[in-house]
Amino acid sequence: MTKENLPNLFQFLAGYFHEDWRCDNETEDDVTRRFITESPSETVAKVKNEINLVLNNFYNEKEMQAFLFDEIKCAYYYLYAWPSGKSWLEHVLAVLCEANEKT
């Protein structure tokens, strides 16, 4: 998988979880919620689908880290707060789904 295969996830993670994400948001969940409010619902749905693709295709944490940090260029180091990329992405997906339920 490459960022070209997952353009919406790339834009979300690289664009919102950039190196200065804390300047714009207090928490990681705030980053995701800001993305939801600033994005069309179709884009949010595409990101959810692309997260599911990643969750279903990466079984190894080393590969997940290489994908998220090197390929996607996510600057948020989730390992400070989450035991794995899988657990973090599952949480992000839950926040995205929760927002959809409220709208």
* 2 lies in some domain: no
Q: What is the mean pLDDT of the chain?
A: 86
Taking CA atoms, 7 is separated from 29, 30, 34, 82, 101, in Å, by: 21, 22, 19, 24, 24
* 29 lies in some domain: yes
pLDDT digits (tens, 9 = 90+) for 72-101: 888 888 899 999 999 999 999 999 998 766
pLDDT of 5 reads 85
pLDDT of 20 reads 65
Task: State the Cα torsion 82-16-101-47 to the nearest 10°.
Answer: -90
pLDDT of 102 reads 55
Taking CA atoms, 16 is separated from 43, 60, 62, 101, in Å, by: 14, 25, 23, 22
Question: Which tokens belong to 31?
Answer: 């980053």
| Radius of gyration of the chain from its Cα atoms, rounded to whole angstroms | 13
Number of domains in the chain: 1
Provide the whole-model pTM: 0.86
Enclosing domain of residue 18: 7-102
Is the pLDDT assigned to residue 46 strictly greater than 90? yes
* 1 lies in some domain: no
